[in-house]
């Protein structure tokens, strides 16, 4: 009897030893691996895919729900063979640039917009733009998404009836846009450019009527520049309200990265660097129609955001380190931001 038990224990002990040896080699099998051998050190959680909800909504419109955060599908393999991931499973950040991914995000946002869910429509497009910036997609590839977001923002943000975070203020006798902005900044610590206050209230002029109620955003504006994409995002809170194409510094005059604030605003700037200085409007003046100068650590810097008369200066490396916008875009940004203090992040 004892000999029989001993004989039965030998195979079990051998199997256990074999399993331990595979474990120490860093291999394991389990339901999550779909039967495939996967090194333990590489079994990391899947990152969240920006725009996942938007893509799911788009698929639902087509009649089938396909979760963008679901594991990549794997081809069935014959019995006894390992199942290998498809090309989709190994897709990196560049997947955000795929035309079908872009089209799905835009279609999902349009479906949400028609259904009245403007915040979710905007959120999906913002995630898509941020994912494309992370993948270093150029501005040209972002345009369909930014144009779709611009359409959503006309109803969501640039609309006095929109759902953006705000406080109501009552126009007093003798008030101006500047006085209202200054009074709000003193009370709430949030500064705004006159152009932003006009835009969200759909006002085009300076006329204000005593007793009139206006809405003032409680979120601040900030600017994020993605050098690799030649694009700048203007955020109001968490929503990208504008996407601008930009030009950046030459390879021998890199645009600096980091966190800055806009320290000064100058309309029709003179270019003081050469001697004699070159006045505004002169074709030799590279600053265009507006200058937004940077500050960091309480120091005025030589860098900033400015306009340009040269179309080819946007979308390329041509400046001495500054960020160039088309004149029409820098005029708009100039009006949106307050006189000073707007955060700028350059990546």
Phi (first) and psi of residue 308, to 5 degrees: -160, 150
- CA-based nearest residue to 61, from 111, 1, 18: 111
- CA-based nearest residue to 304, from 252, 336, 340, 260: 260
Are 105 and 125 spatial neighbours (Cβ–Cβ below 8 Å)?
yes
In terms of phi and psi (left: phi > 0; alpha: psi -120 to 50; beta: otherwise), the region of 25 is alpha
Helix (H, G, I), strand (E, B) or coil at 343: strand
- CA-based nearest residue to 61, from 124, 126, 110, 100: 110
Residue with tokens 């932003």: 196
Active site residues: 306, 322
Are 322 and 330 spatial neighbours (Cβ–Cβ below 8 Å)?
no
Beta-bridge partner residues of 262: 294
Helix (H, G, I), strand (E, B) or coil at 5: helix
Q: What does the DSSP assignment read for 191-247?
A: ---HHHHHHHTT--SS---TT-EEEEESSPEEEEEEGGGTEEEEEETTEEEEEEE-B
Rounded Cα gap, residues 175 and 185, in angstroms = 15
- Convert 106-155 into a string of H (helix), E (strand) and C (coil): HHHHHHHHHCCCHHHHHHHHHHHHHHHHHCCCCHHHHHHHHHHHHHHHHH
Q: Which residues contact 321 (CB under 8 A, 6 or more apart)?
A: 249, 253, 254, 255, 256, 302, 303
């Amino acid at each position: 009897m004892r000999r029989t038990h001993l004989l039965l224990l030998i195979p079990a002990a051998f199997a256990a030893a074999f399993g331990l040896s595979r474990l120490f080699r860093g291999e394991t099998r389990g339901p999550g691996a779909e039967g495939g051998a996967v090194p333990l050190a590489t079994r990391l959680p899947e990152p969240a895919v920006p725009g996942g909800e938007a893509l799911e909504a788009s698929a639902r419109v087509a009649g089938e729900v396909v979760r963008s955060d679901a594991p990549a599908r794997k081809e069935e393999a014959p019995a006894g063979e390992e199942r290998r991931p498809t090309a989709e499973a190994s897709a990196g950040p560049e997947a955000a640039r795929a035309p079908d991914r872009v089209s799905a995000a835009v279609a999902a946002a349009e479906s949400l917009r028609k259904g009245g869910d403007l915040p979710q429509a905007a959120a999906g497009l913002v995630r898509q733009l941020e994912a494309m910036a992370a993948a270093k997609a150029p501005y040209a590839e972002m345009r369909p998404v930014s144009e779709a977001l611009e359409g959503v923002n006309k109803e969501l943000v640039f609309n006095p009836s929109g759902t953006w975070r705000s406080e109501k203020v009552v126009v007093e006798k003798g008030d101006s846009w500047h006085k209202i902005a200054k009074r709000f900044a003193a009370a709430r610590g949030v500064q705004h450019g006159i152009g932003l206050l006009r835009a969200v209230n759909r006002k085009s002029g300076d006329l204000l009527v005593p007793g009139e109620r206006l809405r003032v955003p409680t979120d601040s504006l900030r600017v994020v520049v993605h050098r690799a994409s030649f694009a700048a995002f203007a955020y109001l809170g968490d929503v990208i309200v504008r996407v601008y194409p930009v030009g950046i510094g030459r390879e021998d005059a890199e645009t600096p990265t980091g966190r800055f604030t806009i320290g000064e605003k100058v309309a029709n700037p003179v270019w003081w660097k050469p001697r004699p200085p070159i006045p505004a409007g002169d074709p030799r003046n590279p600053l265009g129609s507006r200058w937004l100068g940077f500050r960091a650590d309480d120091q005025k810097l030589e860098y900033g955001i400015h306009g340009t008369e040269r179309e080819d200066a946007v979308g390329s490396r041509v400046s001495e380190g500054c960020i160039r916008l088309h004149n029409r875009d820098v005029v708009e940004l100039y009006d949106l931001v307050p006189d000073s203090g707007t955060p700028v992040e350059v990546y």
